[in-house]
Amino acid sequence: MRFTRFITLLFICSTFVSSAQQINFKNAKYSRERTVDILHYKFNIAINEKEKSVAGNVTVQFVPLHPNCEVLELDQEGLNILSAKVGENSLRVYKEAGKIILPLDKPYSTNDTVRVDVAYNAKPKKGLYFISPDSSQPQRNWQVWSHGQAEDNHWWFPCYDAPNDKATVEMIVTVN
């Protein structure tokens, strides 16, 4: 009896995994056209638990998916963008309907790996969650956490925030 249940469960899991690997992102609910492939995010940020804020810098490393890439668009919601650079070259920053648009310092090809540094601060409403002691639970510890779900991260750092792009992440975090 147990063996039959195990085989049935194994079959159900393998069917789920094989069907999950065949997602067609062009028809998926949350996919959208990508102009770059984000390879890596590197954070150097400070989190202030009492103010429920984050400030610092994120470096976005990417490869253009089309020749003559002249703009990087990143998702953001409620972020205060202080500056953006490619190397020593400052970039203009335009905010537009949940995005920042960064015209690059020159056109990049599909053979280039580009690093853009963005300095910012925010008091996130989603994506990064703050828990603090209060009068009803004074023993509760201070906590800050993020589960990294696609479509919530752009509330606490500028990023491509959709599940059809994967990247590695490196973080240096100071908590105040």
pLDDT band at 31 (very low <50, low <70, confident <90, very high): low
Contact 73, 101 (CB under 8 A): yes
- Report the distance separating Cα 119 and Cα 158, nearest Å: 10
- Average pLDDT score over residue span 26-51: 85
- List the domains of the chain with CATH numbers: 37-175 (2.60.40.1730)
DSSP string, 122-148: E--SSSSEEE--BTTBTTPPPEEE---
- Report the distance separating Cα 40 and Cα 31, nearest Å: 19
Residue linked to tokens 């429920």: 52
Asked if pLDDT for residue 28 goes beyond 60, the answer is no
Contact 102, 92 (CB under 8 A): yes
| CA distances for 52 relative to 47, 134, 155, angstroms | 7, 14, 13
Q: Is 12 helix (H, G, I), strand (E, B) or coil?
A: helix
For 97-154, write each residue's pLDDT tens digit: 899 999 999 999 999 999 999 999 999 999 998 888 776 777 778 888 887 776 899 9
